[in-house]
Amino acid sequence: MRTTNMTSPATRALAIAGALLIPALMNAQVDRSKAPAPGPAPAVNVGGHDTFLLPNGMRVIVVENHKLPLVGVQVRFDIDPVLQGDKAGYQDLMGELLASGTVRRTKQRIDEQVDALGATLSTSNDGLYASSLKKNFPKLMELVQEVVKFASFPDDEFQKARTRMQSAVRTRVDDPDQIADAVARALIYGKSHPYGEVVTEESLAKVERGHVIAYYQRFFRPEKGYIVFVGDIGREEARVMCEQYFGAWKGAEIASTTENGVEVVQGLGPIVVGGSVPRPDPERLVCFVDRPGSAQSVIKFCSAVPLRPNAPDAMPAQVMNTILGGGVFNARLMQNLREDKAYTYGAYSSLSPDRRIGSWTGGCSVRNAVTDSAVAQIILEMKRMQEEPVTDAELALAKSYMAGSFARSLEDPGTLARFALNTYLNELKPDHYATYLQRLDTIGTDAVQQAAMRYLRPDNCFVLVVGDKAEVANKLAGYSLMNAVVFYDVDGDLYKEEFEPAPPGLTAKDVVEAHVRAIGGRSAIAAVKDMERSYAATVQGMEVVLTEHHKAPDSYALDMRMGPMTLQKLVYAGGRGYRQDMEGRVELNDIELADARESSHPFPEAHYAELDYEMLLGGIVTIDGKRTYRVQFNKENGVFTEYYDVETGLKVRRSEPEETAQGRIEVVTDYSDYREVGGVKVPYAIRQNAGMDMRFTATDIKVNQGVDASLFRLD
């Protein structure tokens, strides 16, 4: 059964974090019709820092702040991104396990000492951070150096941590936002780049304790290390501690070789730094991860961008992104998708500079019915940023928001330490942060538009949607410039239907013949000389009636109506035919004639052999809890797939790609509720998705009751 490709708005709502309003805009007494006149950019005293090098190459940074008797220390290692390959996850495991034990202390003992000092200590795969009261800091520093230099990664703690991480990965499939984040990284960078790798249960299962230890020993090295102090501590006090605890440290002995120019570390393997260069963004491509039954879709536009933190246009780019969707309630995505269209509670974008390769993402969560409409509006807003200068009011608001965020961040002494560290890691100018507000004040609309032209790629990006394929996917093909949706799994790999092997000796022909027997057998089918089937569905509150007529040997007519209006009509007889819709009547082309020839048989499965279809049994897959045989059919004008119930033999689904004005879509038709009529079984319930979800129920089925031959007239 075929229907026209009808579309309707698809919508869904998912609450996201509330919007952040600039305090001045919350004052009800302010004249909202006028933007406040900007004042001169104030000078910023970000404070200085002391720095020096230890003999082993570690750089020490000291940011003094004596307002409170607190001291914090960060030990950070500048580690290039390393490809983990089929053992993805060992780097995060190392970070989690760093404080799980040392050569002198167990994890329990470390935890007890941290608590006794009233301190905090957290670890990551590139170092740790700890803080305490000034009076307890010397003892804390002793513990810090031991964790950094002598971590032992006990096997029992390793096993528990790996199990925890596998459990966390397992729950990712239930969180569409986590799925979108993981798959987006794989799309942006490619899975052969460290930024694009996705940790899976399978990759974690391959991680051994030795991999964690080897990575730690190879990359926690003084020549790549930074020690950053912040708080109630002076340069000389910090120097004494660093020289005492880290001055003579040389790092672990590493057993490694070089093979074909690549370092190979014993216990870890090849060290592939950086991996492959992220692939160029394609023409806009719609990518889809199926979550059957989901009432909502997560939309995420994403692309790699060549934006480094020290780039001359890094600040105009951030202003541009703030106006588009970077946090303020008045951002364009928020105003369009939430305030104007009421598609979502929040729509945001994020521009992330990186000294290697940055990224831009933008999107929202919406209800199914408006997923396609939301995609269209995001594209519109991206292009509008490029094609139209932003308004003075938008520019002033974005600058005010960014200036306010910057000023508030200075209230935290830790920010100044982070600024100092970033200056070295990202090769920033010494006055980068001191001149922040002055540089922000000079940005004009032209610079913002130029940044949009360079870093927004509305026609060269990935459009990722995580949602219900049956409800949403076919409506999105037209937004892909290749006119097709590409399907991925939750781990960012191209989707492959999983199946178990079919019983030995069973063929596709056997499966189809079992269906023929299940609906009555060849004798009963041959006895059907004519047939009339009527089905009804409700679409947007209106009834759609579809009627099919068959008459032996090869006549077929289809009529679909909504009230008195004909939506689609098709007539085929004797190798000729036409179709008629609201745009008029056209003769069937060769491909359409081949499809009509198949449809002229009320039970086409009994005629697949004479139609010269090549059949291939692909195995057993589960559909709605039923084990089904998957059979692929290759025909002269294409391919389609059918699924047959293993237990009953009845066909339960047909899937076929089809080119439409909206792009290449997958037409999926499900069959159920088979009932006997005139000696043969016919499905009384048919659900079809061809751009919209339609559920038809049989209202009248007649077999050998006489069909008027005039229904098949071609003149």
Q: What is the model's pLDDT at position 582?
A: 84
Per-residue pLDDT at 375: 98
Do both 304 and 440 map to the same domain?
Answer: yes
Q: What are the structure tokens assigned to 535, written together?
A: 């089905």
Give the 3-state secondary structure of residue 407: helix
Domain count, the chain: 3
Residue numbers of the chain with a pLDDT score lower than 70: 1-47, 279-280
Residue 178 is assigned to a structural domain of this protein = no
Asked if residue 228 belongs to a domain, the reply is yes
Q: What pLDDT score was predicted for residue 106? A: 96
Give me the phi and psi of 684, to 5 degrees please. -90, -15
The Cα-based distances of 155 to 121, 162, 210, 213, 522 in angstroms read: 21, 10, 10, 11, 66
Structural tokens at position 125: 């795969």
pLDDT of 35: 45
| Beta carbons within 8 Å of 6's beta carbon, 6+ residues apart | 539, 567, 691, 692
Helix (H/G/I), strand (E/B), else coil: 73: strand
CA distances from 596 to 105, 380, 653 (A): 77, 40, 19
In this predicted model, what pLDDT tens digit does every residue of 514-573 receive, in sequence order? 999 999 999 999 999 999 999 999 988 899 999 999 999 999 999 999 988 889 999 999
Among 238, 268, 298, the domain boundary falls at: 268
Per the CB < 8 A criterion, the answer to whether 60 and 239 are in contact is yes
Residue 407: which of 46, 72, 144 has the closest Cα? 46
Q: What pLDDT score was predicted for residue 517?
A: 97
Same domain flag for 482 and 513: no
Alpha helices in 84-136 (DSSP H): 90-97, 107-116
User: Residue 15: inside a domain, yes or no?
Assistant: yes
pTM, rounded to two decimals: 0.84
Residue 240 lies in a domain: yes
- Residue ending a domain, among 234, 268, 302, is 268
Report the CATH number at residue 690: 2.50.20.10
421 within domain boundaries:
no
**Do both 155 and 98 map to the same domain?**
yes
**Which range marks the domain in which residue 399 is found?**
11-20+280-410+429-488
My answer on whether 244 and 287 are in the same domain is no
Do the domain assignments include residue 134? yes
Q: What is the DSSP letter of 338?
A: I
Q: How many CB atoms lie within 10 A of CB 237?
A: 17
Determine, yes or no, domain membership for 45.
no
What residues contact residue 265 under an 8 Å CB cut-off, 6+ apart? 214, 218, 254, 255, 256, 271
Question: Is there a contact between 455 and 360 (Cβ–Cβ < 8 Å)?
Answer: yes
Residue 41 pLDDT: 56
On whether both 599 and 678 belong to a single domain, the answer is yes
238 and 322 belong to one structural domain: no
DSSP per-residue codes, 129-196: EEEEEGGGHHHHHHHHHHHHHHB---HHHHHHHHHHHHHHHHHGGG-HHHHHHHHHHHHHH-TTSGGG
Tokens representing 108 are 């329990």
pLDDT of 561-590, one tens digit each? 998 888 999 999 989 999 998 888 999 998
| Residue 192 burial class via C-beta count within 10 angstroms: exposed 0-12, middle 13-18, buried 19 and up | middle
Q: Is residue 94 part of a domain?
A: yes
Residue with tokens 């002793």: 142
pLDDT at 43: 57
Query: Quick one: pLDDT at residue 39?
Result: 54
Sequence-ordered list of residues with C-beta below 8 angstroms from that of 179, at least 6 positions apart, any chain: 172, 173, 289, 291, 298, 466, 490
513 and 609 housed in the same domain: yes
Helices vs strands, H then E, count in the chain = 19, 29
- Cα 508 to Cα 527, 614, 651, 683: the distances in Å are 25, 9, 13, 22
Residues 465 and 371 in one domain: yes
Dist. CA 484–CA 11, nearest whole Å: 21
Residues 156 and 284 in one domain: no
- Domain of 455, CATH number, reads 3.30.830.10
Q: Are 263 and 286 in the same domain?
A: no
Pick the last residue of a domain from 268, 294, 325.
Answer: 268
Amino acid 209: pLDDT: 97
Q: For residue 335, give the DSSP letter.
A: I
Q: Tell me, what amino acid is at 227? A: I
Residues 264 and 352 in one domain: no
Q: What is the pLDDT of residue 22?
A: 26
Q: What is the pLDDT of residue 3?
A: 38
* AA identity, residue 609: A
Distance CA 667, CA 395 (A): 46
Name, in order, each residue with C-beta under 8 angstroms of 67's C-beta and a sequence gap of 6 or more: 413
Q: What is the pLDDT of residue 674?
A: 97
**Whether residue 284 sits in one domain with residue 261:** no
